């Protein structure tokens, strides 16, 4: 599965074509599909949700392995997540064409912001993303103290080793 990192703003032409950041293209490309999968998000916020095809395939496998075929919730998830997805293939210049209904939903005009979020990414209209980013920064500050992975000892890994071996020489026994 791909890992999408960083934030990049790119121009959208009149046909809806936008260059996907090179790092996103490299992460998403597979022998089976040279492109990305996008959809309207389930949280109804004004962005386009994206991922690589292997993430979509893994989700589809999980969905079908964990529900009965007659389950209404499974059908709802399949309809919302899979049936509404668009596979966008990269052109030779590394662009995709964002369908008009997705651009309209997200309010994307002349520019689009690609936001890497690890296994997924988002595509925003620049001003909407700036507002979202400010809100997310505040939430992240509040959540930071709760996340062990965000707590790093001063001095990096050597300090962590020293903490594991008090009075030691920084080496593990």
Instruction: Please answer whether residues 115 and 123 qualify as being in contact, where contact means their C-beta atoms are separated by less than 8 angstroms.
Output: yes
Does residue 107 lie in a domain region?
yes
CATH number at residue 31: 3.40.1550.20
Domain enclosing residue 69, as ranges: 7-125
Does residue 121 lie in a domain region?
yes
Domain count, the chain: 1
Residue 151's pLDDT is 58
83-108 pLDDT, tens digit per residue, is 999 999 999 999 999 999 999 999 99
Does residue 25 lie in a domain region?
yes
Does residue 43 lie in a domain region?
yes
More confident residue, 81 or 93: 93
23-45 pLDDT, tens digit per residue, is 999 999 999 999 999 999 999 89
**Can you give the pTM of this predicted structure?**
0.81
């Amino acid at each position: 599965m791909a890992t999408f990192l960083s934030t990049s703003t790119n121009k959208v032409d009149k046909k809806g074509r936008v260059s996907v950041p090179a790092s996103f293209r490299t992460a998403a490309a597979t022998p089976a599909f040279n492109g990305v999968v996008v959809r309207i998000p389930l949280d109804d916020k004004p962005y386009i949700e994206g991922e690589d095809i292997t993430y979509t395939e893994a989700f589809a496998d999980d969905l079908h392995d964990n529900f009965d075929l007659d389950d209404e919730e499974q059908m709802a998830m399949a309809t919302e997540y899979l049936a509404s997805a668009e596979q966008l293939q990269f052109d030779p210049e590394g662009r995709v064409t964002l369908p008009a209904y997705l651009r309209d939903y997200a309010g994307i005009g002349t520019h689009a912001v690609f936001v890497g979020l690890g296994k997924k990414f988002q595509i925003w209209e620049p001003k909407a993303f700036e507002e979202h980013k400010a809100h997310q920064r505040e939430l992240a500050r509040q959540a930071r103290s709760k996340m062990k992975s965000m707590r790093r000892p001063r001095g990096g890994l050597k300090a962590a080793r020293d903490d594991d071996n008090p009075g030691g020489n920084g080496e593990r026994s």
